């Protein structure tokens, strides 16, 4: 009897061991499938269906760039000097780390000179799309602003691209409505390789002087976004040099199909209520950087990052970062 009971106990123990082994294997399989599932969440709480989108005026190249001090010259004219604490050579490594840490999928930038763009090309997974604001200057080797779009090639495929200028003759290099310099909008048509979704991305820089110039630019932007996107989802990012009470922003918001990403964010926006950091002071200023989206784009999170690392700011504008999902 004693031997029989031992045999039964041994048999039951073996069954339990097999059951526990199966539970462990099943749990491990679930974990693996969860990691591979395109809809699963990553360590940031973002699902693979979401895009990390960035709007970022990175500031043009200026030797000895930094905090500004002003003094009167011999003739009484105000002279500005910068202290060299915020040069591109100091800021660029921080911007690259910002891209890497946040896993940015696509970013609309403003103001970059060619030498700055070239210094970003070591971010091997990023493609760069866009036409200079003044192509004739670029061709002559004269530095000028570029509003390029950075996009992660492993995630996005560029299907088509183009540009238009904010003027009465938008199809060619030009300036309009009394602007001092030509300003343009670069756009790209992208395929999201993970979701199969196709969307447009518009990126621009409005002229910094003249409310009428900005208003007319906004009217043209609304017209062009409607024509080019053709009903497909879109993002429109830019330094619009226009605050929330301006005619330009009112024009865009009243379009009926361009929605302020900050206003429709599902979670409360994070960060300060201003984006302009002129002079690298960090002091409260204006909200002039914007992200607009189509109705078919959901904004999960929206943030303004006012980062100063060991005395160095990323730029004289704060980057906007959002997590978005195309329906």
pLDDT at position 47, please?
77
pLDDT at position 44, please?
58
pLDDT at position 116, please?
98
Q: In terms of residues, how long is the chain? A: 327
CA-wise closest residue to 303 among 244, 260, 262, 255: 262
Q: Can you tell me the mean pLDDT for 47-69?
A: 95
pLDDT in tens, 259-286: 999 999 999 999 999 999 999 999 999 9
Lowest mean pLDDT among 72-86, 88-102, 202-216, 272-286: 72-86
Q: Can you tell me the mean pLDDT for 135-160?
A: 97
pLDDT in tens, 4-22: 444 444 445 455 455 444 5
Strand partners, 299: 324
pLDDT in tens, 282-313: 999 999 999 999 999 999 999 999 999 999 99
Q: What percent of the chain has pLDDT over 90?
A: 82
**How far does CA 301 lie from the centroid of its chain?**
13
pLDDT at position 259, please?
98
pLDDT in tens, 149-168: 999 999 999 999 999 999 99
Strands (E) across the chain are located at: 50-57, 68-72, 78-82, 106-110, 126-129, 149-152, 156-165, 184-192, 198-205, 234-239, 259-260, 289-293, 297-304, 308-309, 312-313, 320-326
Tell me the Ramachandran region of residue 225: left when phi exceeds 0, alpha when psi lies from -120 to 50, beta otherwise: alpha
**Predicted confidence band of residue 233 (pLDDT cuts 50, 70, 90):** very high
Q: What percent of the chain has pLDDT over 70?
A: 86
**Predicted confidence band of residue 35 (pLDDT cuts 50, 70, 90):** very low
| Other C-beta atoms lying within 10 Å of the C-beta of residue 63 | 9
Residue ranges covered by each domain of the chain: 1-36, 50-326
Lowest mean pLDDT among 32-41, 187-196, 315-324: 32-41
**Predicted confidence band of residue 45 (pLDDT cuts 50, 70, 90):** low
The Cα–Cα gap between 179 and 209 comes to: 7
Question: Is residue 119 predicted with pLDDT exceeding 90?
Answer: yes
CATH entry 2.70.150.10 includes domain 50-326: no
Tell me the pLDDT of the chain averaged across its residues.
90
């Amino acid at each position: 009897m004693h031997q029989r009971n031992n045999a039964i106990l041994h048999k039951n123990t073996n069954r339990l061991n097999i059951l526990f082994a199966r539970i462990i294997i099943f749990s491990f399989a679930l974990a693996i499938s969860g990691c591979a599932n395109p809809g699963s969440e990553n360590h940031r709480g973002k699902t693979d269906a979401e895009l990390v989108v960035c709007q970022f005026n990175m500031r043009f190249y200026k030797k000895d760039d930094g905090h500004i001090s002003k003094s009167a010259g011999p003739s009484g004219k105000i002279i500005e000097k910068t202290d060299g604490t915020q040069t591109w050579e100091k800021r660029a490594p921080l911007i690259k780390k910002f891209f890497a840490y946040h896993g940015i999928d696509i970013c609309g930038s403003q103001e970059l000179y060619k030498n700055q763009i070239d210094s970003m090309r070591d971010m091997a997974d990023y493609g760069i799309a866009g036409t200079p604001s003044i192509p004739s200057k670029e061709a002559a080797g004269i530095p000028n602003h570029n509003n390029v779009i950075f996009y992660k090639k492993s995630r996005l495929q560029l299907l088509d691209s183009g540009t238009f200028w904010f003027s009465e003759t938008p199809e060619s290099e030009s300036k309009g409505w009394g602007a001092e310099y030509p300003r343009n909008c670069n756009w790209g048509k992208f395929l999201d390789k993970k979701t199969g979704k196709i969307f447009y991305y518009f990126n621009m820089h409005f002229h910094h002087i003249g409310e009428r110039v900005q208003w007319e630019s906004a009217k043209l932007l609304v017209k062009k976004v409607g024509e080019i996107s053709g009903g497909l989802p879109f993002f429109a990012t830019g330094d619009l040099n226009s605050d929330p009470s301006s005619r330009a922003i009112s024009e865009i918001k009243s379009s009926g199909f361009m929605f302020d990403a900050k206003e429709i964010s599902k979670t409360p926006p994070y960060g300060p209520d201003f984006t302009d950091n002129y002079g690298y002071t960090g002091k409260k200023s204006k909200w002039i950087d914007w992200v607009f989206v189509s109705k078919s784009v959901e904004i999960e999170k929206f943030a303004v990052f006012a980062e100063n690392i060991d005395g160095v700011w990323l730029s004289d504008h704060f980057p906007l970062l959002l997590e978005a999902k195309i329906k």
